Amino acid sequence: MSVNAQKFRELLNSGEFIVAPGIYDGYSVRLVEAAGFKTAATSGAALSNSLLGVPDAGVMGLSENVNHCRNIARSVKIPVTADADTGYGNPMNVHYTVQVFEEAGLAGINIEDQVSPKRCGHMPGKEVIALEEMVKKIEAACLARRDDAFAIIARTDAIATEGIEGACRRALAYAKAGADMIFPDAVRSEADISAIVDACGYEEMHALEAKLMRFES
């Protein structure tokens, strides 16, 4: 059993409100640990910006992401979850993605329902895949993990494309597919969070406030 995954699972089961600062390298995650936080989460946008110097628009590949996250995870004792973007393909690709992140020492990953190439959740022009397609990805992710403590976090960007009703519908479907946490990206208010919690019955939520960002090449 993975020590990091088990630590993160214990945090989820503790009933505490958990703050997981976003990090992007060994230095930032060590600062988070030194400040007393119990967990941290990589930001795909921050990794893309810091490693490649480009916006988060699906440029960073799986190997680049995993290799960097491995160094981050082994530099601290707190559990770290990773941003696995869209899972890097179809359910078969997602199966492999889960296993390489698990082997790299991460405590879990979030997989989003954007079309590929994806873009940062706070950039305009997002599109999402069909609900049924994302459900298959989540099911594949849950089957792929070797340790049941490894967290599968289902992110939906549907608020921007289908409104809160669509996001609630997707959250419920993703929860039923086996996701351990629901990540509604770019929520606009506490009411949005409450609606999604009520829709899927999950208290395990990861929420980011909506703030659109624009980049020039």
- Residue 110: is its pLDDT beyond 70? yes
Question: Per-residue confidence at 202, pLDDT binned at 50, 70, 90?
Answer: low
Q: Which segment of 33-42, 139-148, 182-191 scores lowest on mean pLDDT?
A: 182-191
- Residue 17 domain-assigned (yes or no): yes
- Residue 217 domain-assigned (yes or no): no
- Residue 211 domain-assigned (yes or no): no
Question: Per-residue confidence at 119, pLDDT binned at 50, 70, 90?
Answer: low
- Residue 214 domain-assigned (yes or no): no
pLDDT at 211: 38
**Which domain CATH number covers 135?**
3.20.20.60
- Residue 207 domain-assigned (yes or no): no
- Residue 14 domain-assigned (yes or no): yes
Q: Contact, 136 vs 126, CB < 8 A?
A: no
- The model carries a pTM of 0.89
pLDDT at 10: 96
Cβ-based neighbour number of residue 25 at 10 Å: 16
**Mean predicted confidence (pLDDT) in 177-203:** 86
Rounded percentage of the chain residues whose pLDDT exceeds 90 = 69
pLDDT at 30: 98
- Residue 125: is its pLDDT beyond 50? yes
**Mean predicted confidence (pLDDT) in 83-97:** 96
The whole-chain average pLDDT of the chain stands at 88
Could you tell me the residue range of the domain that residue 182 belongs to? 3-200
How many whole angstroms separate alpha carbon 5 and alpha carbon 20? 15
pLDDT at 122: 66
Q: Which segment of 24-33, 47-56, 134-143, 148-157 scores lowest on mean pLDDT?
A: 47-56
- Residue 213: is its pLDDT beyond 50? no
Extract the tokens encoding 199. 């829709």
pLDDT at 8: 96
- Residue 52 domain-assigned (yes or no): yes
